[in-house]
Amino acid sequence: MEWVKTKECAREFMVGVAEMTVEFGKGCRDIVKQSLVNEDSFIVKNLGRDSYIGKKLRGPCAKLFAKLSFFNEYLPEDKDPLHAWSVIFFVFLFAFLALYVNFERDPDAPPVKQVFLHPPSASRVVLPDGRNMAYKEQGVSSHKARFSVIAPHSFLSSRLAGIPGVKDSMLEEFGIRLLTYDLPGFGESDPHPKRNLESSATDMAFLADAIGVKKFWVVGYSSGSMHAWAALRYIPDRLAGAAMFAPMVNPYDPMMTKEERRRTWNKWTRRRKFLYFLARRFPRFLAFFYRRSLLSGKHGQIDRWLSLSLGRRDKALMEDPIYEEFWQRDVEESTRQRNVKPFVEEAALQVTNWGFSLSDLKLQKRKQSSYVLSWLKSMFTETQEYTGFLGPIHIWQGMDDKVVPPSMTDFVHRVLPGAAVHKLPYEGHFTYIYFCHECHQQIFTTLFGTPQGPLSIPINVDQATQETNIEQQEVVDDDDYATN
């Protein structure tokens, strides 16, 4: 009997709670109607049927509802269409959300790999402003290097990328010293409070000074190319040449023709276009998207993270376990500081004013000033002064690249006709530079010619004679000791 009484009390209590909830909902509805839907409310005055906006939208909405009125034939005759379709819409919305949540928590789905924080492993140099720059060195040592190469990394990458998959034996064969570094705020490098492309080129020059490099080649891949372009503009006297792979340029560059801009933007997904729009107009809003994707603490597919549309060969490469392992390790290093600001800055740099134009890099004769001294100098000297970058620029472009479309390279070649463009049929954005030994051989041969190995270190004759005499003396001493 006590159990039955407890059960009845619990039932009556739940009925009372339900009635109170219903009455509370009705009260909230009445409050909303009186405060927001009343004729004197702000919403009705500005968005109601008799408001300016309401009058403007009344005609188009009436036409739209007239076109969709044939759906009302499928409703019961005793149901109001407005009420019925509002219920159908909300039911459909809740069903979609339920399916989405169920999909996200599918127990049969493979587990998502967590982003792992690795111990620090980079070498560091201290820049003049006190910041630490992390870098990685590959290939031959400084005193044996025939060629020094510095490679700034692309978006969502780090110093670990470099030239992906390049073998140390090949660097040794060509006598190359390869240096890669973390951009400010990426990897183990300290952030820069007010960085731009000029400061990026200056950091590159400071790094070269700190490790004893006078002249070097700069390698730019994808979005990392904008830092290479900046080096060509701001520190041209430090560069021996430039090698670009699918080089990114500003898609809003005013020098682009309508056809070049159309061919470029048509290759991108709507999400990527929207992210570029945010980066250009509202860069702070990018932080929300990057925290949910890049800094979520979980690995994801690169095409989803960066909103890329990939060709057939690029998709096949992404499924390769070797590439996947390399890329995930690179991402873990790129995001190790868990700070969204460097990614927002990098995205904004791509689509805003660079501070220079690619036409500034074009090799051309310097215009003579009207001063008399300049005219007299030109009369007695035969040397002609030039502006722009004097060294070679090589560009490799995959013709099936949908990340950086070939139309961008066509634009660069139009502006810089002196650049040597190597078009690669059937190659995508990743396939030519990632883990391709034959491709790396072709690239280095194009840039540096026949491999000659590292430099041989000359030995001082007097020093060699002295070392020989010391060795001979040690041998004589040993013989005397053995005899005694």
| Residue 384, pLDDT score | 58
pLDDT band at 480 (very low <50, low <70, confident <90, very high): very low
Span 319-330, average pLDDT: 90
Give pLDDT, residue 103.
Answer: 44
Phi and psi for 159 in degrees, rounded to 5?
A: -65, -20
Tell me the pTM. Answer: 0.72
Question: And the tokens for 458?
Answer: 């000359």
User: 377 pLDDT exceeds 60?
Assistant: no
Q: How many helices (H) and strands (E) does the chain have?
A: 18, 10
Give phi and psi for 365, each to the nearest 5. Answer: -70, 140
Band the pLDDT of 15: cuts 50, 70, 90: confident
Higher pLDDT, 145 or 388: 145
Alpha carbon distance 22, 14 (integer Å): 12
- pLDDT attached to residue 106: 44
Task: Determine the pLDDT at residue 23.
Answer: 82
Least confident of 35-39, 116-120, 127-131, 448-452: 35-39
Percent of the chain exceeding pLDDT 90 equals 54
Q: Average pLDDT in the 339-345 region?
A: 95
| Mean per-residue pLDDT of the chain | 83
- Would the pLDDT of 175 be above 80? yes
Q: Residue 25: pLDDT band by 50, 70, 90 thresholds?
A: confident
In angstroms, the CA 85 to CA 74 distance is: 11
Instruction: Encode pLDDT of 193-211 as tens digits.
Output: 999 999 999 999 999 999 9
CB-neighbour burial class of residue 322 (10 A; exposed 0-12, middle 13-18, buried 19+): exposed
* pLDDT at residue 349 is higher than 90: yes
Predicted confidence at residue 440, as pLDDT, reads 97
**What is the per-residue pLDDT for 138?**
96
Average pLDDT over residues 219-229: 97
3-state helix, strand, coil in the chain (%, to 5): 50, 10, 35
Q: Average pLDDT in the 222-236 region?
A: 96
- Is the pLDDT confidence value at 76 over 80? no
pLDDT at 394 (0 to 100): 98
Could you tell me which residues come within 8 angstroms of residue 284 by beta carbon, excluding any fewer than 6 positions away?
344
